[in-house]
Amino acid sequence: MGLIPVTGQLIHDAAVFVTHGGYQIVFNTRDPGLAWVEAGGRVFSEDDNGNIRSDRTVHKIFLEKELLDAAGGYTIRFARCFARKPYFPESGETFEKTYAFRPVTREDDLSVFMLCDTHSLIEEPVKTGGYFGEKLDALILNGDIPDHSGTTEHLLSIFAIVSRLTGGEIPVIYARGNHDTRGEAALDFPRYVATDGGRLYYTFRLGPVWGVVLDCGEDKPDDHPEYGGMAHFDPYRAAQTGFLDGILSRAGEEFAAPGVKYRIAVCHVRPDLYSDEYFAKHYRAWVARLNEMGIDLALHGHEHRRGFLPAGRETALGRIGYPVCLGGSFTGVKDEAGRLIRRNMEGTALTFRDGEIRIVFTDESHAALEEYRVGK
């Protein structure tokens, strides 16, 4: 999959994932060891009740939003651990790399790009995701970025894309896809992306944009033979209904907070794709609560197609009061003999300006395939 060595132990550049109240800086190293992040004159470690972890190759450290936004940059540090002895443990020379950081501080005019269903491809999504160039303010990865979580190499495809599109300098939003739940490394998946207290659903704020990330989990019932008895997503979806109730109860701190101009929802699976009561009992509740929040746009993937669905649709889940964007996927390009010679990745360019959200579906050529506008 074309892993990108950056410097020494570092496999890819760091990723700055947005989460509730701040950011989680994640970076991957070839060997386990000690990790730190310095920002604003303060040093933060990946510790467990005072003991700095030394047994991991994926490192995740939380920084408060105000701190990193004001600092405008951060430094990651890593030292390989050779022996964690009870007395005088041994570690190697400290490696460090410093990044500039471009927080979203403007009150309007944001450029955000969304990719989904890249399924461990790297070159194609990187080409498509370069639509805004240096004007990119944030990147949304809406699930199934790895083809599955069978190995950590597939998970590292997330960082290969992020490294080349953001260089560790701009915020990234991640929503888990159903393929992300599959395989041995799925148990470690929450360490690789944004979480809120370990949960893969959360709210975030980027300048005038408020958002909620939801996690549908798998796309079939828990007892489906494909999961081998290892899925338990039904109560997980029920818990997210309670999570949405909590957001409504503190609206003034969330979607109705001062300065919020745009409200978006990010979820890999479109809830009204499923009318079976097994799913509908949860998704009906989700849609009702998102309606109550006055969501301006919902962003989905999963269907491997681009599409725009207007607000006001009547569905098996009830009326959906917000428009929906389906983020596209890749299409095959064949030669005259019908052989697949390359894939053309589609993505979604979002511009938030003057109370309007402009949606442009594009591809590796950065052509405007379709365009829609929400608001005003």
- In 3D space, the residue among 190, 116, 187, 113 whose CA is nearest the CA of residue 147 turns out to be 116
What is the arithmetic mean of pLDDT over 186-198? Answer: 95
CA distance 144 to 141: 8
Q: How confident is residue 6, by pLDDT bands cut at 50, 70 and 90? A: very low
Q: pLDDT at position 4, please? A: 39
Tell me the pLDDT tens digit for each residue of 318-357: 999 999 999 987 777 667 777 766 678 999 999 999 999 9
Q: pLDDT at position 284, please? A: 97
Q: How confident is residue 3, by pLDDT bands cut at 50, 70 and 90? A: very low
Pair 226, 178: CB distance under 8 Å: no
Q: pLDDT at position 235, please? A: 97
Q: Which two tokens stand for residue 215?
A: 């996690």
> What is 15-100's CATH topology?
Immunoglobulin-like (2.60.40)
Domain extent listing, the chain:
15-100, 110-374
Average pLDDT, the chain: 94
What is the arithmetic mean of pLDDT over 108-123? Answer: 95
What is the arithmetic mean of pLDDT over 25-46? Answer: 96
pLDDT at 205 over 80: yes
What is the arithmetic mean of pLDDT over 173-180? Answer: 96
CA distance 283 to 298: 14
Tell me the pLDDT tens digit for each residue of 256-315: 999 999 999 999 999 999 889 999 999 999 999 999 999 999 999 999 999 999 999 999
Burial class (CB in 10 A: 0-12, 13-18, 19+), 312: exposed
Residue 15: how many other CB atoms lie within 10 Å: 28
Q: pLDDT at position 27, please? A: 97
Percent of the chain predicted with pLDDT > 90: 88
pTM for this prediction: 0.95
Nearest 5 degrees, angle CA 71-CA 113-CA 370? Answer: 155
SS3 label, residue 357? strand
pLDDT at 56 over 90: yes
Tell me the pLDDT tens digit for each residue of 231-265: 999 999 999 999 999 999 999 999 999 999 999 99
Element (H, E) at 153: helix 152-166
Q: Which two tokens stand for residue 45?
A: 């470690």
pLDDT at 37 over 60: yes
Q: How confident is residue 79, by pLDDT bands cut at 50, 70 and 90? A: very high
Residues 110-374, CATH architecture: 4-Layer Sandwich (3.60)
Q: How confident is residue 92, by pLDDT bands cut at 50, 70 and 90? A: confident
